[in-house]
A = this chain, B = another copy of it.
Amino acid sequence: MTIPPPGRPNGLRRGTNLGHVAGFNDSVILSYIRAAKSGTSRSDLRTATGLAPQSVSDICQRLLDQGLIAETGTSTKGFGRPRVTLEIVPSSRYALGIHIDPATVTSVLLDLAGGLVAHYSTDIDPDDPGLVIEQMAPTLDALLEQTGVDRSRVVGLGLAVPGPIDAEGGTMVDPPHLPKWHHERLRERLGAATGLSVIVDKDVVAAAVAERWAGALAGVSDAAFLYLGSGVGVGLITDDLVVRGHTSNAGDIGHLMVDTMGPLCDQGHRGCLGTLCSPLHLVREGVARGALDPTPHDGELGHAVRRLAALRERVDGGNSAAREIVEETAHRLARAVGIIANMHDTQMVVCGGPAWAPLADLYLPTLHEQAARAFSMSSLHELEVSGTDVGADVAAIGAACLVLDERFATRPSSLLLG
């Protein structure tokens, strides 16, 4: 839990000095080189960053010395002399990521460019956290072995977990869908088992960070990632910064009210997003309305997520009850998208997660239409709504991106004296 430093008046900041400036500018240059898919030149970097020629040269040399970038050729523009092309070296550094979902644990290995090198996903027994955690380090070892990636090139391990979390302590705090996971000391245990530095963050925050590393948010400073898993959460980015909140638990929109109908949630409210758009509810409605045959496992989270594919098949087969359920859900999601976008003057909302993928293309037309209609800044700019291209593993990939982000991305706050 974060406790504000005593006596630090609000909005006040530590000072900054030249040492911090250098580190920051290194990150700026590296980020530009990474974002330029086909390489860039020192001259282009000067224009893009506003830095002096000598600074750009010095920084590039440092990055070359560390092996993070390479000179990969030359290009000419007009009558100027040939420019040396700089590119990122994806295999120079790696990050590991694990997403703990109430039904599944997914592990991934990413390279410095954010490319997915390997992944492994397995169903878990959510009632045995000890066993689940024990199996994580060997899984990561196996990923490294299979790919031949040297452990010395792995800069860290990120964990994406359902909230609430204790980010400082590196533990999960009574996640509603994982009742047996009570203050499991994830960072401590995985740090000891892997020898890596471990970051713990919320799954929805990780998903937003993944989307950014994938480049899908290029030019977008204000975005939201709507994550559909066992529940629904949002990863917010405002003015290029990921919103984490006071204790890194931002993104809970489970009780966002999106309908006047539906069953009561655990707090006795009607119309809550987290309840109405959960896979459990969709499957329950599917069975109740005769679109799905009942099974003994319909009350289990992992099973419900998997049954969304069956619901989707029923829609494709022309089942009107199944279509109705999906349409209702799309309207509820659209309501949430409109509320989030109006609250944050958002440019782009990206949707993803395991409960999104099977129904994505059925949801999107309604989302486009309804969310655009609800958007109150439409005379000023468009609200773009899309599905993620990162795939269903977006939270696990995001977990690894947390590490890359912490280590290599630019953050003005990194300029401040510690």
Contact A8 B219 (CB under 8 A): yes
Binds B, one of A107-115, A124-132, A239-247, A389-397: A239-247
Question: B240, B252, B416: which contacts A376 (Cβ < 8 A)?
Answer: B252
Which among B253, B373, B376, B410 is the interface contact of A11 at CB below 8 angstroms?
B410
CB <8 Å contact, B339 and A256: yes
- A381 close to chain B: CB less than 8 A: yes
Q: How near does chain B come to A142, taking the closest CB pair, in angstroms?
A: 32
Determine whether A290 belongs to the interface, using a CB cutoff of 8 Å to chain B: no
**Quick check: A250 and B10 within 8 Å, CB to CB?**
no
Is the Cβ of A412 less than 8 Å from the Cβ of B13? yes
CA gap between A343 and B240 in the complex, in Å: 18
Copies of this chain, whole number = 2
The reply to whether A11 and B260 form a contact with Cβ atoms under 8 Å apart is no
A257: contacting residue among B18, B21, B335, CB under 8 A? B335
Determine which of B166, B260, B340 lies in contact with A380 in the assembled complex, contact meaning CB atoms within 8 Å: B166
Does A146 touch B at the CB level, under 8 Å?
no
Chain A 223-248 interface 0/1 with B at a Cβ cutoff of 8 Å (1 = within)? 00000000000101011110111111
Cα(A410)–Cα(B416), bound, Å: 11
A85 and B413 alpha carbons, distance in the complex (Å): 29
Residue numbers in B under 8 Å from A256 (CB-CB): 257, 339, 343
Is B339 a contact of A1 with CB atoms below 8 Å? no
Stretch at the interface among A44-52, A75-83, A352-360: A44-52
In the complex, which residues of chain B have a beta carbon less than 8 angstroms from the beta carbon of A6? 219
| Beta-carbon contact of A379 and B173 below 8 Å | yes
Contact between B250 and A11, CB atoms less than 8 A apart: no
Of chain B, the residue at the smallest CB distance from A414 is B412
CB <8 Å contact, B377 and A164: yes
By a CB distance below 8 angstroms, the chain B residues around A417 are 49-51
From 1 to 47 in chain A, residues with beta carbon under 8 angstroms from any chain B beta carbon are 1, 4, 6-18, 21, 24-25, 28-29, 31-32, 35-36
Q: How far is the CB of A308 from chain B (nearest CB, A)?
A: 25
Bound complex: CA of A259 vs CA of B340, how far in Å? 18
Known contacts A18-B21, A164-B379, A253-B339; 6 additional CB pairs below 8 A are: A4-B219, A10-B218, A12-B35, A239-B244, A245-B346, A249-B380
11 A–B contact pairs at CB < 8 A? A7-B219, A10-B215, A11-B31, A12-B31, A12-B410, A15-B29, A50-B417, A246-B346, A249-B345, A249-B377, A252-B345
